[in-house]
């Protein structure tokens, strides 16, 4: 203690060091507690930001009933997003089970002879595939060895799928639960975030937050419009080429378009099915239509929608979307463009400030 009663400099430094260490430890503990919910909370924030204009209209028609308005928006998310995902997951699980039974029937039953004959009709690779399948089916020992080698892989894959569905189901519940409170307290939370950013980064931070909000909303709208376009194109292709259940497959393509590389999970098996049935021309045409029209829309429409709303060049939108997916998974669809958009705003602001400073220097 100094003579005037104030703590010495080394004591103040020690207190600051201890306080900083306590804050770091508390931040780490808080992160460990929140970490299992981060993805679900991020999805809730994305959905709330995208649907906020609609929520504002709903709340304006229901003055004094903020909880009811928030509940209606939460029900909208549940009906429009969660339920279709659950239905698709159940449908895919059922189809996977049926596919497994079909594979066993082909490998061990008389149906395999017909498949071998049809495989030979496929250009280029048909003879090799037919020969390999015939060899496996001809020797019971080889067939048993093949089934034993792949049984563990299949069980492991099934276990991973069940685990992923369980985890994602939990995240969906948390996402919907959090979305309700974001709709209910979104304005107060937004004001707090803007105040905190202003305190940390000055007056330039709130405009960056607004730009991030616009970018997230543009990405959501771009995803929806791209999904609709891909679903329509896929359904048209399935109908024109005589694939069974074209509307169902088109709807499945629409839903899976929100998943990276999702549409090929629909049109590629359909094309392979046509080829296996001996419809070589229709199968090849479906492959060309799926790769050239359906999947290409993902790389054309989405950058256009996002670029128009955010004033970003198409190249940067493409880099943001693809780079975000590769780095962060599904969340990268939103995080990637937001990061690139904020970086672009900072770059333009820095360049503009440099130009102003240079002009002022020349004026002197």
Q: What is the pLDDT of residues 17-26, one digit of tens each?
A: 888 888 889 8
Alpha-carbon 102 to chain mean position: 31
Cβ contacts of 351 within 8 Å, gap of 6 or more:
none
| Contact status, residue 226 vs residue 301, Cβ threshold 8 Å | yes
pLDDT of residue 3: 54
Q: How far apart, in whole angstroms, are the C-alpha atoms of residue 222 and residue 235?
A: 20
pLDDT of residue 175: 85
Alpha carbons 256 and 170: distance in angstroms, whole number: 20
Query: Quick check: helix, strand or coil at residue 263?
Result: coil
Q: Which two three-digit tokens encode residue 8?
A: 């010495």
pLDDT at position 154 is 52
Alpha helices in the chain (DSSP H): 9-34, 38-60, 66-77, 83-108, 111-119, 126-138, 140-201, 205-240, 246-256, 264-276, 280-289, 296-310, 314-328, 332-363
What is the structure's pLDDT at 61?
Answer: 87
Contact 307, 314 (CB under 8 A): yes
Quick one: which of 319, 317, 323, 287 has its CA closest to 301? 317
b/e map 303-331, b = 16+ CB within 10 Å: bebbbebbebeeebbbbbbbbbbeebeeb
Tokens 């048909």 belong to residue: 126
Q: Whats the size of the chain, residue-wise?
A: 364
| Res 253: pLDDT | 83
Q: pTM of the entire structure?
A: 0.60
173 and 182 in contact (C-beta within 8 Å)? no
**Residues in the chain, pLDDT under 50:** none
């Amino acid at each position: 203690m100094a003579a005037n009663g104030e703590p010495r400099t080394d004591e103040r430094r020690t207190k600051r060091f201890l306080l900083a260490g306590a804050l770091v430890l508390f931040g780490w503990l808080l992160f460990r507690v929140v970490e299992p919910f981060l993805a679900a909370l991020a999805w809730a924030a994305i959905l709330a930001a995208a649907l906020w204009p609609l929520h504002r209209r709903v709340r304006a028609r229901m003055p004094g009933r903020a909880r009811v308005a928030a509940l209606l928006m939460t029900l909208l998310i549940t009906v429009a997003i969660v339920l279709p995902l659950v239905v698709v997951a159940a449908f895919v699980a059922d189809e996977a089970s049926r596919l497994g039974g079909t594979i066993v029937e082909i490998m061990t039953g008389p149906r395999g002879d017909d498949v071998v004959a049809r495989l030979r009709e496929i250009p280029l690779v048909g003879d090799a595939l037919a020969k390999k399948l015939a060899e496996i089916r001809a020797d019971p020992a080889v067939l048993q060895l093949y089934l034993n080698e792949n049984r563990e892989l299949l069980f492991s894959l099934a276990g991973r799928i069940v685990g992923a569905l369980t985890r994602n189901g939990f995240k969906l519940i948390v996402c919907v639960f959090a979305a309700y409170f974001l709709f209910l307290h979104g304005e107060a939370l937004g004001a707090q975030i803007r105040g905190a950013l202003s305190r940390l980064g000055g007056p330039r931070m709130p405009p960056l937050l607004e730009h991030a909000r616009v970018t997230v909303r543009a990405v959501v709208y771009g995803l929806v419009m791209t999904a609709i376009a891909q679903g329509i194109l896929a359904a048209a292709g399935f109908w024109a080429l005589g694939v069974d259940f074209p509307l169902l497959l088109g709807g499945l393509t629409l839903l899976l378009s929100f998943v990276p590389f999702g549409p090929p999970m629909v049109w590629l098996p359909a094309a392979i099915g046509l080829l296996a049935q001996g419809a070589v021309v229709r199968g090849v045409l479906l492959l060309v239509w799926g790769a050239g029209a359906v999947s290409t829309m993902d790389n054309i429409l989405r950058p256009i929608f996002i670029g128009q709303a955010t004033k970003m060049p198409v190249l940067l939108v493409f880099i943001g979307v693809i780079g975000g997916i590769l780095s962060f998974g599904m969340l990268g669809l939103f995080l990637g463009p937001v990061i690139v958009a904020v970086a672009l705003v900072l770059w333009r602001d820095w360049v503009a400030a440099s130009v102003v400073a240079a002009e002022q220097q020349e004026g002197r």
